[in-house]
Homo-oligomer: A and B are copies of this chain.
Amino acid sequence: MNTIRALALACRDAARSVAALDTAAKRRLLLAMACALESRTDAVLEANAEDMRLVMEKGIHGAMLDRLKLDVSRVQAIADALREVAELSDPVGVVTRRESRQNGLSIERVRVPLGVIAMIYEARPNVTADAAALCLFAGNGVILRGGSEALRSNLAIAAALQAALQANDVPTAALTLIDDLSREAMIELLQLTDIVDLAIPRGGEGLIRFVAEHARVPVIKHYKGVCHLYVDRAADSTLALNLLIDGKTTRPGVCNALETLLVHADIADRFLPMAAAALQELRVELRGCARSCQLVSGMQAATDDDYAAEFLDLILAVRIVDDLDDAIAHIQRYGSDHTEVIATADETVAGRFVHALRSAVVMVNASSRFSDGGQLGLGAEIGISTTRLHAYGPMGAESLTIERFVVRGTGQVRHLPG
């Protein structure tokens, strides 16, 4: 048997031990993982320095280096994040529904772990600890396959965490880091349909498409966030402007940042010039429809591609729409089902917006930037699903479990064929 399959089988067996832990034992484990990581900070930073050196030798700079880099405070932050997971409520064993049938059967829906989760990710080494913590806390085994740039950092972090597993009598295979980073090994991992219950890719669109193409195990995908703000005729201008500036400018590189502004035609000549001035002052580039360009100087014409783009940058697509239906039609055509926002004081309009759209998160008079597991009350987040299956929107520990049926009787039988 080759290595990937053997590693995955060992993880599956170890996952049964994790599933059997009670909440207190899992909390102790996570706190021990945090301490183990802190106590090995030097080893982690040494490994990270070597990763950084190799990446810089390749002439890579900028954002990727920053994502890769660890220092004492970042290692501390990773340990703190582990302690935060330990404070979450445990989804495993929760009885979500209870019913008694006429024949006396008691039927409960109870959350159980998924089993084995494969995380496929790129340069950020903190994902190694974050993902492991959430998967283990939800009673699962986890197989981690990070990016090659961070391999040494990931190995050092995983070794620290595994030491905590061992000290807590949990088989270390419950947290398995794959160090064969070949495409063949990844493809094999993604096709272990009898072992891996779920694969979660986190990273750029290329990685996610690769995983989606090759996986035969279930995948929860997070493609892009093309988030819209629709400023309705009945919107408060100041409120709408605040949502716009918060959504577009406070962190343009994340998926819950705004990419497109839709403005009701009746208020466009009041709202749009003011909003454009504020955004341009914050160095946001505007790309608008023909009507918008007439109202705002310095706005360039938007292409069809601009409306479908996740800019991840200080660029905003703008369009004047005739009415609510026009706004909804635009979002249905160009949106990515991630997060949409309406600014309006008209509750009927808000209700129609919410009802017509099936995006994972729909906000009424609140910033798109709240579309985040922590902000929405899930605690830590393992990703944001844009797939309408199993989980939709921010995914916390609960999304790493599934409801099953527990039925208790006193000897009931069905007797009759049927």
Contacts and interface: CB of A to CB of B under 8 A. Distances in A.
A356 interface: yes
A3 interface: no
Interface string A240-264: 0011011100110000000000000
A390 B392 contact: no
Contacts of A101: 375, 377
Contacts of A354: 406
A236 to B, nearest CB: 7
B414 A377 contact: no
A218 B389 contact: yes
A247 B411 CA distance: 12
A369 interface: yes
A198 B389 contact: yes
Contacts of A238: 411
Interface in A363-418: 363-367, 369-371, 375-377, 387-394, 402-418
Contacts of A212: 193, 216
B367 A413 contact: yes
Interface in A206-257: 212-213, 216, 218-219, 236, 238-239, 242-243, 245-247, 250-251
A197 B389 contact: yes
A242 B392 contact: no
Nearest to A355: B20
Contacts of A177: none
Interface stretch (A107-115, A168-176, A311-319): A107-115
A43 to B, nearest CB: 28
A24 B61 CA distance: 59
A361 B406 CA distance: 6
A16 interface: yes
A251 to B, nearest CB: 5
Interface in A151-177: none
Contact of A251 (B113, B358, B366, B417): B417
B413 A369 contact: yes
Contact of A99 (B219, B377, B392, B413): B377
A126 interface: no
B114 A389 contact: yes
Scoring A212, A332, A391, A405 by chain B CB atoms within 10 A of each residue's CB, the highest score goes to A405
A417 B250 contact: yes
Given A218-B218, A389-B218, A413-B369, A20 B376 contact: no
Tell me the dominant secondary structure on chain A's binding face: mixed
A94 interface: no
Contacts of A272: none
A271 B198 CA distance: 41
Interface string A133-164: 00000000000000000000000000000000
A411 B213 contact: no
A105 interface: yes
A359 interface: yes
Interface string A72-113: 000000000000000000000000000101000101000011
A19 B354 CA distance: 12
Contacts of A250: 414-417
Given A16-B332, A394-B405, A407-B376, A415 B246 contact: yes
Given A101-B377, A415-B250, A197 B388 contact: yes
A359 B414 contact: no
A219 B217 CA distance: 10
A366 B115 contact: no
A70 to B, nearest CB: 18
Interface of A: 16, 19-20, 99, 101, 105, 107, 112-115, 193, 197-198, 212-213, 216, 218-219, 236, 238-239, 242-243, 245-247, 250-251, 332, 350, 354-356, 358-367, 369-371, 375-377, 387-394, 402-418
Across the A-B interface, the 9 shortest Cβ-Cβ residue pairs:
A366-B409, A246-B413, A390-B390, A239-B411, A369-B414, A361-B405, A367-B413, A364-B408, A363-B407
